Amino acid sequence: MKKVMMGNHALSYGAMLSRAQVISAYPITPQTQVVELLSEMCSDGTLNAQFIKVESEHSAMASCIGASVAGARTFTATSSQGLALMHEMLHWAGGGRHPIVMGNVNRSMAPGWSIWADQNDSLSQRDTGWMQFYCASNQEVVDTVIQAFKVAEALMIPAMVILDAFALSHTYEVVDVPDQGLVDKYLPPFKPAIKLTPADPRAFGGLTGAEHYMELRYKLETDMEKAPALIEETGREFGKIFGRDLGLVDPYRCDDADFIFVTSGTAGFTARVAVDELRKSGVKAGNLRIKVFRPFPFERVREVLGKVKKAAVVDRNCSYGAGGIFYQEVKSAIYGRPGMPPLIGYIAGLGGRDITTDSFKEIAADAMAKDRAEEEIVWIGVKK
Amino acid sequence: MVEIRFHGRGGQGTVVASKILADAIAKEDKWVQAYPEFGVERRGSPVVAFIRIDDKQIYDKSRIYTPDHVVVVDPTLVEAIDITEGLKPGGTIIINSDRRPEDFPFHGKFKVRTIDATAIAVKHKLGSLATPIVNTAIAGAVTKILGLARLESLAAAIRDGVPIKAEDNVKAATEAYEMA
């Protein structure tokens, strides 16, 4: 069934179709409609879930962890300052192996106070042991929530499904809503091997000395390393059922490209339009949209980069003192490998500043004029 | 690809109008994207909403700067702001007004069409006399003038998306569609 919906409601529908059993969330602009619709679905019986109201995002994530330990499929959503307030609990969910799925609307961190898009909120949480999926359309949001539960529960690793503020969260797009019966087939009920129940008392997250802690972390890393293959496998399975493959990366016209953009989020879709226009003017351009940031798809990135002459990594974020965060990851993906192209890092679109096809053409012109990788980070559209 | 910009004031249902139109257009198997100005809306202040329409999937996620058409839900905005900003030459401007197209200074440079959506809304008792809700009448006129969808698709979108007085809203949209 096709339906026009905003990105925030795409998250709500994803949680509903996944038959989330516990939802605990605190509203924050620009995420609020996610929670509003889910609370309506819970109250009118569309979704048979417990909705736990809380006084903060820290408590929201704490409630989700409790519900997940008790064996419930658990969903929440937040944004920016709310995600930052959850930080301690994010480590707890990741380290404790609680497969919660969370929607995060990418909103810039204050100050200056902002409700507009960039990725610094979610990328600041990269080391918390969560998978991170970056979406470029509302269709991808619905589909990815469903897939994220499947992967998260198989690996017992929580997952964030991430969408840009306003450009997706408040933008209405046509979404082919997956059939509930087919979703049920794809995503069977959550049945953890062990859970918190009075019939079988256990302690979770207890004091762990140096003789055991490192093994827990080793297992988290090695299980995270299984995620790329599992994301691709479950993505192909999703494609067989619903007609839309979900992968780690989305390469566009890269096979014969001299030059590519490396992008993420909605900018990764706008880049396609720029690629088509550049091709018309004789530039063999391409675009590699990175959909999954954690685990980082090193193999897939190398496969594409190995075929091109130059790449511009476009970041809607900044790790101050080190530049764009995707840029650093892409550099580390190709480190020490022969036949890899020069990379140039660009920062654009912070605080919701628009990233347009013209922004990409400016990046392409700058990158083509350079004959080697530059240490300097290039800022696009900054008033100087 | 067709790009349309809507000008209204917070509380008039401008964003809802764009959403209803998007629904109607999607019912005809086209691709559509609708979004409000990325910001904080306040009642009474100028608000902007946008629609992109295409026969194929829309990948451009940037904002609309050079629309093909402009819709003015609140006629007082014509004096308050430059509603023609970025409008492509020869583009259509649809204004909710009881005046004639030639009464507007940009008539000639652009195609101006007027529809008295306020009178239609009052007639069908939508909203109050002081603040009539004109968005479904506007949607009817825009659908017809720009050839966006069939009347049946718009009526279905209104029935799906308007929580109260759905049938009165369908009547208002139909009347505007037929007048336009």
Closest residue of A to B40, CA-based? A115
Pairwise CB contact (< 8 Å): B34 & A172: yes
pLDDT band at B129; cut points 50, 70, 90 = confident
Please calculate the CA angle A248-A253-A255 and round it to the nearest 5 degrees.
85
Question: How far apart, in Å, are the Cα atoms of B62 and each of A5, A358, B59, B66, B169?
Answer: 18, 10, 9, 12, 32
Measured between beta carbons, the chain A residues lying within 8 angstroms of B32 are 4, 172-174
Residue B7 φ then ψ, to 5° = -115, 130
Separation between Cα atoms, residue B136 and residue A47, nearest integer Å = 31
**Better pLDDT: B40 or B92:** B92
d(CA A247, CA A230): 10
Q: Which of B23, B26, B33 sits opposite A171 (nearest CB)?
A: B33
Rounded Cα distance between A203 and A197, Å, is 10
If you measure CA to CA, which chain A residue comes closest to B52? A173
Residue type, B71: V
Q: What is the DSSP string of B80-132?
A: HS-TTTTPPTT-EEEEE-SS-GGGSTTBTTBEEEEE-HHHHHHHTT-B-SSSB
Instruction: Inspect the interface and report whether the beta carbons of A165 and B63 lie closer than 8 Å.
Output: no
Instruction: Decide if A269 and B59 are in contact by the 8 Å CB cutoff.
Output: yes
Expressed as residue numbers, the domain containing B167 is 2-179
Measured between CA atoms, the residue of chain A closest to residue B57 is: A174
Q: What is the pLDDT of residue A374?
A: 65
Cα pseudo-dihedral A92, A30, A288, A240, rounded to 10: 80
Q: Is residue B62 a contact partner of residue A354, using CB atoms and an 8 Å limit?
A: yes
User: Which amino acid, residue A14?
Assistant: G
A187 closest CA partner among A158, A155, A148, A156: A148
Contact in structure between B176 and B117 (CB atoms under 8 Å):
yes
How far is Cα B94 from Cα B101, in angstroms, rounded to an integer? 9
Q: Which residue has the tokens 């499929």?
A: A73
> Of B47, B59, B60, B160, which to mutate for an interface test with A (greatest number of A Cβ within 10 Å)?
B59
CA distance A378 to A382: 10
* Inter-chain residue contact B32 with A136, CB threshold 8 Å: no
Chain A residues close to B22, C-beta within 8 Å = 4, 172
How many domains are contained in chain B? 1
* Cβ pair A167:B59 closer than 8 A: no
Chain B residues whose beta carbon lies within 8 Å of the beta carbon of residue A172: 18-19, 22, 32-35
Decide if B33 and A355 are in contact by the 8 Å CB cutoff: no
3-state secondary structure of A357: helix
What pTM was estimated for this model as a whole?
A: 0.97
Using a 10 angstrom Cβ sphere, with 0-12 exposed, 13-18 middle and 19 or more buried, the burial of residue A212 is exposed
Q: What is the ipTM of this complex?
A: 0.96
pLDDT in tens, B154-164: 999 999 988 88
Give the CA radius of gyration of chain B: 15
Question: pLDDT tens string for chain A (384 positions)?
Answer: 999 999 999 999 999 999 999 999 999 999 999 999 999 999 999 999 999 999 999 999 999 999 999 999 999 999 999 999 999 999 999 999 999 999 999 999 999 999 999 999 999 999 999 999 999 999 999 999 999 999 999 999 999 999 999 999 999 999 999 999 999 999 999 999 999 999 999 999 999 999 999 999 999 999 999 999 999 999 999 999 999 999 999 999 999 999 999 999 999 999 999 999 999 999 999 999 999 999 999 999 999 999 999 999 999 999 999 999 999 999 999 999 999 999 999 999 999 999 999 999 999 999 999 877 666 889 999 998
In chain A the domains, ranked by start, together with CATH numbers, are: 2-242 (3.40.50.970), 249-379 (3.40.50.920)
Question: What is the distance between the alpha carbons of residues A382 and A367, in angstroms, rounded to a whole number?
Answer: 17
Residue B4: which of B134, B19, B96 has the closest Cα? B19
Residues B92, B111 contacting (CB under 8 angstroms): yes
The shortest C-alpha distance from B61 to chain A (Å) reads 5
Identify the contact set of chain A against chain B, taking CB-CB distances under 8 A: 2-4, 29, 115-116, 136, 164-168, 170-174, 266-267, 269-270, 272-273, 352, 354-357
- What are the angstrom distances between the C-alpha of A187 and each of A64, A180, B63? 20, 10, 36
Beta-carbon separation of A270 and B36 below 8 A:
no
Q: Do A115 and B36 touch (CB under 8 A)?
A: no
B124-127's contacts with Cβ under 8 Å and 24+ in sequence apart are: B124/B165, B124/B168, B124/B169, B124/B171, B124/B172, B124/B175, B125/B165, B125/B168, B126/B165, B126/B168, B126/B169, B126/B172
Nearest CA in chain B to A166: B38
What pLDDT band is residue B13 in, cutting at 50, 70 and 90? Answer: confident
- Taking CA–CA distances from B64, the nearest residue in chain A reads A356
CA distances from B177 to A23, A75, A88 (A): 44, 44, 56
Whether the per-residue pLDDT at B89 is higher than 80: the answer is yes
Do A305 and A340 form a contact (C-beta atoms < 8 A)?
yes
User: Chain B residues within 8 A (CB-CB) of chain A?
Assistant: 18-19, 22-23, 26, 31-36, 38-40, 58-63, 65
**Residue in B25, B36, B31 with CA at minimum distance from that of residue B58:** B31
Query: Which CATH number fits the domain that encloses residue B75?
Result: 3.40.920.10
The SS3 call for residue B70 is strand
For residue A101, the cross-strand partners are A75, A159
Tens-place pLDDT, residues B28-82: 999 999 999 877 777 888 999 999 999 999 999 999 999 999 999 999 999 999 9
Instruction: Give chain B's mean pLDDT.
Output: 95
Judged by CB atoms closer than 8 Å, whether chains meet at A270 and B62 is answered as yes
Task: Check A172 against B60: CB less than 8 A apart.
Answer: no
Rounded to the nearest 10 degrees, the angle between the axes of helix A213-242 and helix A138-155 is 140
- In angstroms, rounded to a whole number, what is the distance separating the alpha carbons of residues A260 and A253? 9
A contacts of B61 (beta carbons < 8 Å): 136, 164, 167-168, 171, 266-267, 269-270
- Which residues on neighbouring strands pair with residue A158, listed in sequence order? none
Higher pLDDT pick, B128 / B61: B61
Which residues of chain A lie closer than 8 angstroms to B35, CB-CB?
166-167, 170-172
Residue A373: per-residue pLDDT: 66
